[in-house]
Structures are given as C-alpha cells and as structure tokens.
Amino acid sequence: MFPRLTPAGGIAVASLLAVSSPAAAQVDRSTLAAYDRFVDSLVVPLFTGFVDRFLSPRGVPVMAPSPVSADEARKLVGTYRDQAIPRATVEGFFVGLLFGEGDARVGWDAARQELWFQPPGAERLSLEKVGEGHFRTRNAPVDAELVFHDMETPEPDLYVTAGPLGSYSFERIPSALAVPEQLLLLLGILGVFALWCVYLPARALRRRLRHVETRTDRLERVTLALTSGVAVSGVGGFLLFSVLGFQIPSYALMTGVPLAFPVLSWSATAAALLSVPLTGAVVLGWRRRGSGRPARLLASAVALAGLAFLPFCLYWGLFGGRI
C-alpha cells in the first residue's frame, strides 16, 4: 500500500492503490477515472458557480447607473457622523472633534451633475446611482456602496459598505454640529474666557497705578467671583491639559487614566455649571447698574459663552468627568 496523488479537476486527490495484483490496480484506476469525470462535470461547475454568484463581486449583477436630479441630491447633501464615535465619555471630544475622524460629507457637483462622498480624513469620491437611495463609488481605490435611508426610519441615515475596509453607519447631523463649526464655537468661547482673564488683572493694575479706590457691593463681588470662576475654569482646564498632555508617557495610556483627562473634564464641567448662577447675577447687575459698563458687558459675554459651553460639554462628553 502506498499513497498516490491523482489530479482531479485541478484538485489533488489522494488514493491508496493496492498493488497486490494488476487486476486490483486496474479497478482502482478505473474508479479514479470515473471520479475525475464526475468532479469535472458536476462538482467543479457547482462550486465555481456558487463562489461567483454569492462570494465574488463578479457574480453580482451590475446595475446600470441612472441620473440623479438636483432635487434628489438636495435631500442627500449634508454632513454625516459615524455612529461609532463615543458620546458618553471624553473620548468623543478627542476622536470626534479634535481629530475629526467621525464626519463624512455628501455634496453635489453642479458642473458634472453628480453626487460626491468624502469619507472621514479622505479625498472626495464620485458617486453613481444604481437604485433608489443606493449609490456606488466610481473610479475609487476601493469599491464602496452607499445606502441612504429615510430620516424617519430606525435604520442609519447612511450605511456604507467598503469591502475589505468594513461597514460603517452614519447619522445625518445639522450643519451647526459639524466639526468646523464646533471648533469655531470652542475657540470663540475660550476667546471670551481669555479676554476676561486679561481684563480683570489689567483693570486692577490700572486702578492701583492711579490710586483709585472703588467700593463694591455684595452683588458686584459675587458677579466678579462667578465670572472669574467660569473664565479661569474654562481656559485653565485646556491650558493644564496642554501642559500635562506633553508629559504623558506612552505606557500611561495603557496602565491607567492620565491626569490630563479628568482635569480637562472637571474644569469644563465647573465652567459650564458656574455659568448658570452667573447669568442670574449679571441680570441683577444690569437692573441695579452697579459696576461699570465695560465690566458688565464683558461679564455678560462670559455668561453667554458659559451657557453655550454647557450643551457643548454635554454633546462631546466633557461634562461630569466621564472618562
């Protein structure tokens, strides 16, 4: 008894041939020849047909692209955010906003009369319509299919299948929540906070140099304290995070939570919460006309910035020290 490899339809089949007699060997050869014909005529065609039909894109019927109207494109154009971006922790602030890895855009090229899709951190890709709400990329490095759903259905607003790159679910968001607009909002809020941090010491220094003595009532002192608390907490948290962030060793991210992350989260929370009583103090200050007009105007700006900072922190996971 010894093994012999006989090719059958491109597949090597191992058999054991009995060599006790020539008649037995002839029977085995006849059996193998019949097996080869069976594999070539039935098994191989069935197997290749199954692979081409269900496992290979070559077997999927290709639908001819259809034109896209401007009215249809207007309903699909917008910003879409990856649903995998975390919302409950501070990780959403870094991944979704600072790194900008969650927003995809769908736009309309009026000159070419076609839709385009820009994945997060990638170039624009031209789209062609192959069905109702069903699009595919054209001349792209990786073939991708996009399926848009009705906004009222529980399915994702946009579902993208990109072959070996995986599948992704997106939700459509208002333009005000897009990354560029949110970054501008954050810079504006921090700018107002920083302006107060510069104004208050400058005012105190000017009065000291001029030997000006001013009397302030209790409401003015409370307003100044709350305004300083909001401004210092907001700006100081980001400054401390920047300083501590450069001192984080690489292994600290694996062994525990670095100090910079809770510092940023709790300072943002303090600034957002202090803006609520500050708003009430500012309203009372305008009614009584206690302090000077520049101070009241700037305190009002800090209060408004703090109120805008509150929903910002809630949306991006900065509120409550959730790491």
User: For residue 66, what pLDDT band results from cuts at 50, 70 and 90?
Assistant: confident
pLDDT digits (tens, 9 = 90+) for 175-187: 899 999 999 999 9
| Nearest-angstrom CA–CA distance, 286 and 304 | 14
Average pLDDT, integer, range 92-101: 82
Q: Which CATH class is domain 70-93+100-173?
A: mainly beta
Angstrom CA distances, 127 to 26, 76, 116, 137, 213, stand at 62, 12, 5, 5, 70
Of 114, 128, 133, 130, nearest to 61 by C-alpha is 130
Predicted pLDDT of residue 13: 40
Burial class (CB in 10 A: 0-12, 13-18, 19+), 203: middle
| Nearest-angstrom CA–CA distance, 103 and 281 | 39
| pTM of this structure | 0.71
Predicted pLDDT of residue 149: 83
The residue extents of the domains of the chain are 2-59, 70-93+100-173, 179-321
User: For residue 192, what pLDDT band results from cuts at 50, 70 and 90?
Assistant: very high
Predicted pLDDT of residue 196: 94
Residue 307 has pLDDT above 70, yes or no: yes
Residue 214 has pLDDT above 90, yes or no: no
pLDDT digits (tens, 9 = 90+) for 246-294: 665 555 555 566 777 888 889 999 999 999 999 999 999 888 876 678 8
Report which of residues 5 and 286 the model is more confident about. Answer: 286
- Low-confidence winner among 2-16, 49-63, 211-225 (lowest mean pLDDT): 2-16
Q: Radius of gyration (Cα) for the chain, nearest Å?
A: 34
